C-alpha cells in the first residue's frame, strides 16, 4: 500500500453471488477502503437474514486515527435481541443433531474463507480499531486457526463406558451441547475473540447470538457473512450490533431458553453479567482483566528479554489483557534493560496503521488516551523516571506516544490498574522471593512472563506465580491449541485447546442394568 494513508485501488466492484457470497466484478476503479467498507453488512444477522433494527436506529463506527465516521450500522433494540435468540433456539435442535463431521466441514470451509479474505479482514480491523496492518494480518492468522482447530475437535468429543465398581450395571457417560449461547466480544481483537467463541460453540453443536463491541463491529459482521458463505445454516449464528448494550444483554441473559454466556471484557462488567447469569444458573465463561508481571532475573539473556518485552507490551498498542503491565527487573540489570528498551521504543513510528512502517497506531478512542495520560502523570508525580514518550501525540486521532518509565514507585496507580496502552513500567527487585511477592500482589491472575536461563528457577516460578498462563522466555503465549484463561479476578473457564470445546458441552451419566445378570 502507498505510504500516507494506505489508499489503493481495486480493478472491480463488489456484488453478491449465489448465497450472498462476496464476489468481485471487473471494471471500476475505486478506493480499496471505500470498496471494502461498502461490502461489509450494516444490519443485524437474524435467522440467516440481514435486517435493519426494528426501529431503524443506527450508530456510527469511527476510525480512531482521525475520528472520521467510516460506516453506520444497525443498533439493535431489546426486541431485536429477543428475535436473535428466537432464531438461535429454533435452529438448535437441527444443528445439535447434525453429525459432528458435517459441523467440522462447515468450520473448515469457514477457515478457508477467512484465509482467502485475509487482506480484507486485516484492512478492516486496522480501519476500525487502529492496529498496524502487520498486526491485523497476524490476528487474522491467529483467529482463523480457531476455526480450523475446532473443526478438528468437533469429531473428537468423547464419553466413556464401563462397569460400575459394584458390578451391578454399566455406566455410560456422554457429552451434549449445552444449548443456545450468548457471546459478548471485546473491541481490541475483533476477529480472534469472535472466532475463539463461535468456533467451539458450533463444533459442540450449539447455536449462538454474538454481540460485538460497538466500537469495532465491522470485522465481526464480515466474518459472519463468511460463515454464511461457508454453509452455516440459518439461525446457527446470529449477530446483534447495538449501542443499547445493557437492556439488550439483560433481556437475552434473562431469557430461560439461553443456557450459556461467554464474555470477554473488563472485570467490573464481568461481575455484573455473572450476577445476571445467576438467575438462570447459566454456564459462564469469563475472560476478564489482567495485570501481567514480566519478571527478568539476573541470569536472563537480556536480548531475549528485551525482545520479549517489546512483544508482550506493545502488541496491539498495549491494548490487550495479556499485555505485560509491570516489568519486574533484577536490580543488577534494571538500568541496562531500561536503556535497551528505551532505545527500541524511541525508534517506534506512530501513525495510521495503514501507513508503511507504523509501529504504534491510535488507541481506540480519546477516553483511552485520557486514562493512559492519567496513569503516566500519576506515576511521574510519585517519582517514576520518564525515559521516553509520556504525552499525547499532537495530531488528529487518539494517539499516545509509546512510553518507558523507570523506578516506578509501589504506590503508582499503574501498578494496580490495567494500563491498556503503550506504557512500559519498570520496577527493580533484589531476589526471587521479592519478585514472586511483587508479581502476585494483584487481584488479577491472567498471565505472567518469566525470563531466566535457570531451568530450576523457571520451574519454581511457574509453580509459584498465581496466573492461569505463563510465558517462560517468551513474550506471547496465545495459541488456538492452548487453553486461554486466568485465575482470581481474571476470569472463569478456558478458551482454545482441547479444553475450549468443553465450555459448550454438558455431561450426562446413564446407568444401565448388568447385561449379564
pLDDT at 395: 87
> In 3-state terms, what secondary structure has residue 480?
coil
Residue 514 lies in a domain: no
Say whether both 271 and 369 belong to one domain.
no
Q: What contacts 22, CB < 8 A, 6 or more positions away?
A: 14, 16, 39, 117, 225, 226, 229
pLDDT at 17: 30
Say whether both 261 and 354 belong to one domain.
no
Residue 499 lies in a domain: no
Q: Specify whether the CB–CB gap between 224 and 121 falls below 8 A.
A: no
pLDDT at 31: 87
- d(CA 402, CA 324) in angstroms, rounded, equals 14
Say whether both 128 and 230 belong to one domain.
yes
**Closest by CA position to 229, among listed 148, 116, 89:** 116
Grid-cell match 479444553, residue found: 499
Say whether both 369 and 258 belong to one domain.
no
Say whether both 221 and 314 belong to one domain.
no
**Closest by CA position to 175, among listed 196, 158, 154:** 158
Residue 159 lies in a domain: yes
Domain count, the chain: 3
Where a domain ends, among 287, 321, 340? 287
Residue 464 lies in a domain: yes
Say whether both 24 and 76 belong to one domain.
no
- d(CA 419, CA 427) in angstroms, rounded, equals 15
C-alpha distance from residue 9 to each of 12, 35, 121, 222, 471 (Å)? 9, 9, 16, 20, 42
How many other CB atoms are found less than 10 A from the CB of residue 170? 16
Grid-cell match 504506590, residue found: 411
Residue 170 lies in a domain: yes
Say whether both 390 and 474 belong to one domain.
yes
φ, ψ dihedrals at 160, nearest 5°: -155, 160
Q: Residue 141 sits in which domain range? A: 42-287
Say whether both 150 and 240 belong to one domain.
yes
Grid-cell match 478506493, residue found: 31
Say whether both 259 and 304 belong to one domain.
no
pLDDT at 19: 28
- d(CA 126, CA 12) in angstroms, rounded, equals 22
Say whether both 260 and 372 belong to one domain.
no
Say whether both 19 and 53 belong to one domain.
no
φ, ψ dihedrals at 111, nearest 5°: -60, -45
pLDDT at 27: 32
Q: What contacts 458, CB < 8 A, 6 or more positions away?
A: 450, 452, 472, 473
User: Mean pLDDT per 10-residue run, the chain (517 residues)?
Assistant: 28 30 34 94 98 98 97 98 98 98 98 98 98 97 98 96 95 98 98 98 98 98 98 98 98 98 97 98 97 98 98 98 98 98 97 94 98 98 98 94 98 97 98 98 98 98 98 97 98 97 98 91
- d(CA 134, CA 194) in angstroms, rounded, equals 20
Q: Where are the beta strands (DSSP E) in 135-198?
A: 160-163, 169-177, 181-184
Residue 510 lies in a domain: no
pLDDT at 3: 28
Q: Convert 95-109 into a string of H (helix), E (strand) and C (coil).
A: HHHCCHHHHHHHHHH
Residue 512 lies in a domain: no
- d(CA 168, CA 511) in angstroms, rounded, equals 10
- Report the predicted TM-score, pTM, of the whole model to 2 decimal places: 0.92
- For position 301, which CATH number holds? 3.40.309.10
Which DSSP symbol is given to 350?
B
Where a domain ends, among 226, 252, 287? 287
- d(CA 186, CA 321) in angstroms, rounded, equals 11
- d(CA 192, CA 190) in angstroms, rounded, equals 6
**Closest by CA position to 418, among listed 321, 484, 313:** 321
- d(CA 47, CA 54) in angstroms, rounded, equals 15
Q: What contacts 168, CB < 8 A, 6 or more positions away?
A: 513, 514, 517
Say whether both 67 and 51 belong to one domain.
yes
Residue 511 lies in a domain: no
Where a domain ends, among 223, 252, 287? 287
- For position 141, which CATH number holds? 3.40.605.10
Q: Which residues are the active-site residues?
A: 287
Amino acid at each position: 500500500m502507498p505510504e500516507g494513508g494506505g489508499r489503493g485501488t481495486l480493478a472491480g466492484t463488489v456484488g453478491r453471488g449465489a448465497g450472498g457470497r462476496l464476489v468481485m466484478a471487473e471494471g471500476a476503479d475505486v478506493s480499496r477502503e471505500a470498496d471494502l467498507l461498502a461490502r461489509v453488512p450494516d444490519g443485524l444477522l437474524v435467522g440467516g437474514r440481514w435486517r435493519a433494527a426494528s426501529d431503524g436506529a443506527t450508530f456510527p463506527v469511527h476510525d480512531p486515527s482521525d475520528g472520521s465516521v467510516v460506516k453506520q450500522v444497525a443498533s439493535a433494540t431489546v426486541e431485536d435481541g429477543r428475535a436473535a435468540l428466537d432464531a438461535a433456539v429454533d435452529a438448535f435442535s437441527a444443528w445439535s443433531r447434525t453429525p459432528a463431521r458435517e459441523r467440522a466441514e462447515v468450520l473448515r470451509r469457514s477457515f478457508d474463507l477467512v484465509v482467502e479474505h485475509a487482506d480484507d479482514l486485516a484492512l478492516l480491523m486496522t480501519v476500525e480499531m487502529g492496529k498496524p496492518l502487520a498486526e491485523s494480518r497476524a490476528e487474522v492468522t491467529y483467529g482463523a486457526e480457531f476455526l480450523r482447530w475446532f473443526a478438528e475437535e468437533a469429531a473428537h468429543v468423547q464419553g466413556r463406558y464401563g462397569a460400575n465398581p459394584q458390578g451391578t450395571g454399566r455406566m455410560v457417560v456422554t457429552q451434549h451441547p449445552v444449548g443456545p449461547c450468548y457471546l459478548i466480544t471485546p473491541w481490541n481483537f475483533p476477529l480472534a475473540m469472535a472466532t475463539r467463541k463461535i468456533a467451539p460453540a458450533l463444533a459442540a453443536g450449539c447455536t449462538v447470538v454474538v454481540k460485538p463491541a460497538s466500537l469495532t463491529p465491522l470485522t465481526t459482521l464480515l466474518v459472519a457473512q463468511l460463515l454464511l458463505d461457508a454453509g452455516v445454516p440459518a439461525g446457527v449464528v446470529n449477530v446483534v450490533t447495538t449501542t443499547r448494550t445493557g437492556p439488550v444483554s439483560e433481556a437475552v441473559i434473562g431469557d430461560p431458553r439461553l443456557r450459556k454466556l461467554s464474555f470477554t471484557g473488563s472485570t467490573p462488567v464481568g461481575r455484573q453479567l455473572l450476577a445476571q447469569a445467576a438467575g438462570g444458573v447459566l454456564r459462564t465463561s469469563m475472560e476478564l482483566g489482567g495485570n501481567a508481571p514480566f519478571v527478568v532475573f539476573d541470569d536472563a539473556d537480556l536480548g531475549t528479554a528485551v525482545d520479549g518485552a517489546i512483544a508482550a507490551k506493545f502488541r496491539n498498542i498495549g491494548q490487550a489483557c495479556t499485555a505485560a503491565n509491570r516489568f519486574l527487573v533484577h536490580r543488577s540489570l534494571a538500568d541496562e534493560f531500561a536503556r535497551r528498551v528505551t532505545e527500541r521504543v524511541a525508534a517506534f513510528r506512530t501513525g495510521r496503521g495503514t501507513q508503511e512502517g507504523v509501529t504504534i497506531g491510535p488507541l481506540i478512542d480519546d477516553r483511552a488516551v485520557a486514562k493512559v495520560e492519567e496513569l503516566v502523570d500519576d506515576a511521574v508525580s510519585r517519582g517514576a523516571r520518564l525515559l521516553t514518550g509520556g504525552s499525547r501525540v499532537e495530531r488528529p486521532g487518539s494517539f499516545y506516544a509509546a512510553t518507558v518509565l523507570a523506578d516506578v514507585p509501589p504506590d503508582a496507580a499503574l501498578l494496580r490498574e490495567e494500563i491498556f496502552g503503550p506504557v512500559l513500567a519498570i520496577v527493580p527487585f533484589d531476589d526471587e522471593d521479592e519478585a514472586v511477592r511483587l508479581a502476585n500482589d494483584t487481584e488479577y491472575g491472567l498471565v505472567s512472563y518469566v525470563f531466566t536461563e535457570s531451568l530450576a528457577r523457571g520451574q519454581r516460578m511457574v509453580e509459584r506465580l498465581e496466573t492461569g498462563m505463563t510465558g517462560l522466555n517468551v513474550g506471547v503465549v496465545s495459541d488456538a491449541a492452548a487453553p486461554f484463561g486466568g485465575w482470581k479476578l481474571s476470569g472463569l473457564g478456558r478458551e482454545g485447546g482441547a479444553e475450549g470445546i468443553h465450555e459448550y458441552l454438558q455431561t450426562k451419566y446413564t446407568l444401565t442394568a448388568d447385561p449379564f445378570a
